[in-house]
A and B are shown apart, each in its own frame.
Chain A
């Protein structure tokens, strides 16, 4: 590795363009993976944030507990559209604490009758409403802002107001809560189908990442091959060449991960601005954790090493390097398209066979397995049939082209399809 760092330092000035091109390619891959994981975290956090609002379905929370006086809670139903402001819905929860020891919502004192808390976005609307209609509609005294952990989105319009015992008795439907609904951290919020789709997504993202890095590694590969061949000629062992190449790859990957991370930090607010169920995400919910960062870094490094080793295979064969790397290209086999066809057939069959599962989200391990199998077949099929597809498309393009340069270019591409794909 010391020798690798020495060569990296010595050759950096001459390879700046290639190193930075590769690093940007790595960065794009890293960005894609981080954004994907970020989105998953955001969706998961949004689900968790709304957990306290599910008190109606939580029978455990409604079981009386000795020495605990319950908190009465009710969700106000629509009254002549009075819960709509502009085109947004104002969710309203009314509470009555039967004693000071009744449970409270996390981070919020139960408001007394005639007072209420509002979400920051709603407070902003109240302040902007010069007619005073919104304030009048809500009634009572505003105590302050509802803390973020109780909101599903920074723009959620939410009111938590206090009722008297009489007012609560008049409510059509209310719950007595001895404890508040919350989701244990290790609880799986999402179905097996959902996680299956996440794994498919990660595999799907890793493939373009590998392709990005592979393409970037090939950029300037003739120059690299010359360098490594010259070193082999004067007695560099394969291990030394691997060390030199690994140092360069590691350097590129580290720059790529850093750029990818910075791009991710830039893009995270944009991603948080996307609306799911009509509302944005909290930026802090989009954060990726340490394990996820390690996963992305490890996946990128492994992908880079695989791509680099593949690109270098020919150089290691001979100290004459580029002089002896000539390979007789086999014509791409028609059989290479089979995994792609089978993958698409499986996907179509799955969609037709299980249409209701896509609608109601039924947990079905067969469905997940079939989707994953179809996706893996399609992904590997694209890689395997790449030369054949390139050759076919280029041959067709050559046939319909009229300009001489287009004919030459497309015929060349058709002839060199295996080389183009690195096989």
Chain B
């Protein structure tokens, strides 16, 4: 059976000053696959995620997504990737604090030039799908940690991304909410065929993934 590789990274190297964060990492992720990147603090797992997402530029190496080498793309091309094909869920700070849950979820569509009414209808549906009906007008600061993360996931999923990047998405949540969020990720990967890359240091979270990748000293072990 042929593998449906969505994102393929080869020989990725990245240094910050004299510190080598990644020292030649190779990784390939398939469509609908959930991969957990694990490792101790400072091992380079977040750097790897940011490089794969085109947020950080690697010093060398190739990251192929849809026949394009991400590091060779311009800033605006990488921005468009984030707007159309990549979704993001981080531990903190990814929601616009001054916008309501509904506005936050509608933003990616509005940035894409989708008409306001359509964007808001879809955002409302998405919030409903993630169990956030009635919270549309709440600001992120008025939501619980779990609710805020679900808003972030709804926002990431509204563009139907091919890859969802999650950096410690349950880092600020209790075990009950963490389980709920992970169940959401599992169903997204299965139902939407979205590749999910999760950075975590918690084995119980990684256990939900199809595959675990350990990064240590800038290398995948």
A-to-B contact residues, CB < 8 Å: 3, 6, 10-11, 13-15, 223, 226-227, 229-238, 240, 318-320, 322-323
Contacts and interface: CB of A to CB of B under 8 A. Distances in A.
A319 B83 contact: no
A6 B99 CA distance: 11
A234 B110 CA distance: 11
Nearest to A228: B96
Nearest to B107: A234
A233 B139 contact: no
Interface of B: 50, 55, 75-76, 79-84, 88, 90, 93-100, 103, 107-108, 110-112, 116, 139, 155-156
A14 B84 CA distance: 29
A55 to B, nearest CB: 68
B97 A235 contact: no
A14 B55 contact: no
Contact of B79 (A232, A322, A323): A232
A320 B99 contact: no
A22 to B, nearest CB: 15
Nearest to A234: B108
A227 B97 contact: yes
Nearest to B55: A319
Contacts, number: 73
Contact of A10 (B80, B83, B98): B98
Given A240-B111, A320-B55, A231 B96 contact: yes
Give 7 nearest A-B pairs by CB, closest first: A235-B83, A14-B98, A11-B98, A235-B82, A234-B108, A230-B96, A237-B79
A235 B84 contact: yes
Given A235-B82, A235-B83, A319-B82, A230 B111 contact: no
28 contacts: A3-B110, A6-B110, A6-B116, A11-B96, A11-B98, A14-B98, A226-B93, A227-B96, A230-B93, A230-B94, A230-B95, A230-B96, A231-B96, A231-B107, A233-B55, A233-B90, A233-B94, A234-B82, A234-B155, A235-B80, A235-B82, A235-B83, A235-B111, A235-B112, A237-B79, A238-B76, A238-B79, A322-B93
A10 B116 CA distance: 13
Nearest to A317: B75
A233 B93 CA distance: 10
Contacts of B93: 226, 229-230, 322-323
Nearest to B88: A233
Contacts of A15: 98
A27 B215 CA distance: 55
A236 B79 contact: yes
A223 B111 CA distance: 20
Nearest to A230: B96
A234 B88 contact: yes
B142 to A, nearest CB: 12
A235 B79 contact: yes
Of the candidates A13, A226, A238, A322, the one having the most CB atoms from chain B within 10 angstroms of its own CB is A226
Nearest to A318: B55
Given A3-B110, A231-B111, A235-B82, A223 B55 contact: no
A236 B103 contact: no
B97 A223 contact: yes
Contacts of B139: 14
A235 B108 CA distance: 7
A137 B199 CA distance: 99
Contacts of A227: 96-98
Contacts of B75: 238
Nearest to A237: B79
Contacts of B100: 10
Nearest to A322: B93
Contacts of B110: 3, 6
A218 B22 CA distance: 35
Nearest to A15: B98
A236 B82 CA distance: 9
A322 B116 CA distance: 29
Contacts of A236: 79, 83, 111
Given A226-B93, A319-B55, A319-B82, A234 B98 contact: no
A234 B99 contact: no
Contacts of B108: 234-235
Given A231-B107, A319-B55, 14 more contacts: A11-B98, A13-B98, A14-B139, A226-B97, A227-B97, A227-B98, A231-B96, A234-B83, A234-B108, A235-B79, A235-B108, A236-B79, A237-B79, A238-B79
A10 B102 CA distance: 11
A229 B92 CA distance: 12
Contacts of B111: 3, 231, 234-236, 240
Contacts of A14: 97-98, 139
Contacts of B90: 233
B84 to A, nearest CB: 7
